[in-house]
Structure 1
Amino acid sequence: MTRITLLHNPRCSKSRQALALLEERGIDLAVRRYLDAPLDERELRDLIARLDSGVERLVRHGEAEWKALGADASDPEQVVQAILAHPRIMERPIADDGQRAVIGRPPEVILALLS
């Protein structure tokens, strides 16, 4: 089985639930606390290319930083620049197997990477 990278925020209950789901199944797992180690531009663009959903879902629309930017969530370039400047606005958790990435909302969605 391929190693899964979990973009994780330990303060987020959904992210903690996703981590627990993967750990319970004994998955080869790399946990990246993306607020402590933000994605660089290349990593973020590569992640967007692997996402199973539109770029709009990658943004936490309720965050003050996002609202203040007045950016267009359907514009990948605006999303990239916003997340690079404010990593906290990136939705979490995200599970990535290097071929496909899924946003774990709800956390059980990440289990799709296991099949």
Structure 2
Amino acid sequence: MDATIYHNPKCSTSRKALDKLRDAGIDPTVVKYVNEGWTREQLQTLFDEAGLTPKQAARKREALYKELGLDDADDDAVLDAMVEHPILVERPFVVTGKGTRLARPLESLDEIL
């Protein structure tokens, strides 16, 4: 099975998701999105496929989220902030031929494996 994980190695949940994929016999493409960044179109597609809005996919615990005043921002503003600051995207997202999920909770991966 082909799979892609949008991964942050500093995140324990992201590391656990990568381990879960490998334990399932999947050698996923690993995208370190914090380094590589996003385009607006990539994020919108990812969120649409996962059934989430940008605000639902935002990492609200990130200090930058509050600093930028994103609590009161609309989805377009949140999406723009995510493009400028990739760390604001919750992690990890996993894409397989069966769908796209934000692996929080980790068990949500079972739906697409």
Give TM-score scaled by structure 2 length.
Answer: 0.87
In 2, the alpha carbon distance for the partners of 1:111 and 1:10 equals 21
In 2, the alpha carbon distance for the partners of 1:98 and 1:85 equals 29
Q: Post-superposition, which runs of at least 4 consecutive aligned residues in structure 1 deviate over 6 A?
A: none
Aligned-CA RMSD value: 2.0
**Secondary structure of 2:5's match?**
strand
In 2, the alpha carbon distance for the partners of 1:46 and 1:97 equals 14
Per-residue CA deviation, residues 58-113 of structure 1 (Å, 9 max, x unaligned), is 11112111101112478321221010111111100111226732111122211211
**What residue ranges of structure 1 are gaps of 5+ in the alignment?**
none
Change (3 A) 1:12 1:85: same
2:112 corresponds in structure 1 to: 113
Give TM-score scaled by structure 1 length.
Answer: 0.86
Q: Which amino acid aligns with 1:104?
A: A
2:7 corresponds in structure 1 to: 8
How many percent of aligned residue pairs carry the same amino acid? 35
Matched, 1:29 2:39: no
**What residue ranges of structure 2 are gaps of 5+ in the alignment?**
none
Single out whichever of 7-16 and 70-79 deviates more from structure 2: 70-79
2:7–2:14: 8 Å Cα contact kept in structure 1? yes
